[in-house]
Amino acid sequence: MGSCLRAADFRCRAQLPRLFRPAACGGGGARPGAGSSMQRAGLLTPFPLRARATARTCMVSSFATELLEIRSREPSPSLHVLVVPGNPGIVGFYRDFVEALYENLGGQASVTAIGHISHGQKDYEHGRLFSLHEQIEHKIDFLEQELLHTEQSIIVVGHSIGAYIGLEICKRFQKKVIFFVGLYPFLTLNKNAMKQSAIRYVARSSLLSKGVSLLVSFIGSLQASVTRSIVKRFLGSSWSTAAIDAGCSHLLQYHTMHNVLFMAKTEFEKLHEEPDWNFIRAKQDQIAFLFGVDDHWGPLTHLEEISRHAPGVALSVEKEGHTHGYCCTEAGSFWVADYVANLIKNQMLVGDS
């Protein structure tokens, strides 16, 4: 790797001992190099009595929107964390992450995950397809409707393409959003990734997109035990129960998969552009990114590029063996939640619990 990556990695290591402090609910936070991965995983699953996120559907600019949320234990909370998913934008995939993040923040902040339009269980929009731009505007409308009138400051946490969406939210609400965290970010195309090329080929074809959507909806129409077995075998051998449930109930719907592929098509059309380096540089002390070691959506070459353009951005590399789809496993959800919570604590936005 180049010097920029080494410098960024050195800075991350210097920060981590301060970032990773004992987590809430009696579990110790992980410290890099302290004990085996198995021991660290044990420390990151300490929530037998953790608060449970509530699922609800609300209307945002006339569109049915699935939310997963936990309200702060504080009578007058000063902080609200908004989690923006990747694609698929199914909030059920993020249940373990949302609940662990809430507990790691000691219940001092409300946490809300917002789903994408028509990535839900029911086809409320009657087959309509929504682009990346429309999904961005939807999140902005949600903030204007639900959060801007409160006195709470907002932290945006975006995963994958949700990191791109999250940065657009930050641009729109620069006074209200005080910190942004991008997890395994998808900010620009990776021309060397064969998987991206294959997905792009399918997403660009209306015929192939419909065919794939029909196939997954057929699997979803099978007997529940058969569908669940297929999902566990081919998609989620290591997935959590929450992720498998969400996959069976939401992802294996024709309208959801069709929207997933259409949104992907518009992502590939938009993300050939360079990120907005001027904005990232201007807000670099309020931005952090977590990259994976072997993630084609957010390769380490993109980390190097961020380091060159905005050296003040907090950059970290996850080396615990989790994947881009961290939210679909309990271990990944707990580790990343601990990372995000300690970033927030390090910014003195909430106190240690």
Strand order from edge to edge, sheet including 287-292: 54-60, 63-70, 110-114, 79-84, 153-159, 177-183, 287-292, 314-318
| Range 3-346: architecture per CATH | 3-Layer(aba) Sandwich (3.40)
pLDDT for res 3: 37
Can you tell me the distance from the alpha carbon of 312 to that of 286, in angstroms, rounded to the nearest whole number?
9
Parallel, antiparallel or unpaired: strands 110-114 and 63-70:
antiparallel
Strand partners, 149: none
pLDDT for res 5: 38
DSSP 93: G
Contact 115, 86 (CB under 8 A): no
Query: HSE on the CB side for 195, CA within 13 Å?
Result: 6
Rounded to two decimals, what is the model's pTM? 0.86
Residue 250 CB partners (closer than 8 Å, separation 6+): 88, 90, 92, 119, 120, 121, 256
Give 10-residue mean pLDDT values along the chain (353 residues): 39 35 33 36 53 96 97 92 98 98 96 98 97 98 94 96 98 96 97 94 98 97 96 88 96 98 98 96 98 96 98 97 96 98 85 63
Question: Which residue type, as a one-letter code, is found at position 97?
Answer: F
pLDDT for res 47: 52
pLDDT for res 237: 81
pLDDT for res 283: 97
Q: What is the DSSP string of 29-45?
A: PP-TTSS-HHHHHHHT-
Can you tell me the distance from the alpha carbon of 10 to that of 165, in angstroms, rounded to the nearest whole number?
28
pLDDT for res 236: 74
Strand partners, 82: 112, 156
R_g of the chain, CA atoms, integer Å: 19
